[in-house]
Amino acid sequence: MTDDSAIGSHTSTVHARRRENPQQRIRQLMWRPVGGGRVAVVGRARNWLTRSLPRLVGLNARIQLGEDTELLLSELITNAVLYAGGVTTVRLRLTGTVLRLTVCDHATATPTARTATTDDEHGRGIALVTALAVRWGVERSRTIAGKCVWLELSTAATSAA
């Protein structure tokens, strides 16, 4: 049995907003980890994602969505722990067939892609984000010192031609 107070608070919200299609809904889940500056938060974030993603996207998402989201979440959380003083908030937002993953941290520095050699232990995170995400970016936090790195993934199953 897991003590949720030990791994962070869970806030789930469902919002309906009008877009071009008035029936389109925005669904969002948020996690605020306790101890977001420790490496152990990476595993706790993956556990949260494993429980949360199916509730958010349902059963019709593309097969690789869970694996891609878990990999990219791990990369963003690890970057936040190693280079940005730790994670403050993780959000998943679904709008139509677009899943947005956002990881907020304490630093204001924008992540930059590095070129990693085969012997390097670090330096591949942003390259993975660039390769797997439809798009990504950085926003400055409006409420606290820090930033939020976000990326978007398509949930749509691709059809074979």
Q: Which long-range contacts (CB under 8 A, 24 or more apart) does 42-51 make?
A: 42/74, 42/77, 42/78, 42/81, 44/7, 44/8, 45/73, 45/74, 45/77, 45/87, 45/90, 46/70, 46/73, 46/74, 47/2, 47/7, 48/7, 48/8, 48/10, 48/90, 49/73, 49/92
The pLDDT tens digits of the residues spanning 93-115 come to 999 999 999 999 999 988 877 77
Tell me what percent of the residues of the chain surpass a pLDDT of 70: 78
In this predicted structure, what is the pLDDT of residue 94?
A: 95
- Mean pLDDT, the chain, integer: 81
Beta-ladder partners of 32: 9
Classify residue 97 as exposed, middle or buried by CB count within 10 Å of its CB (0-12, 13-18, 19+).
middle
The pLDDT tens digits of the residues spanning 16-43 come to 333 445 456 889 999 999 999 999 999 9
> What's the whole-model pTM score?
0.80
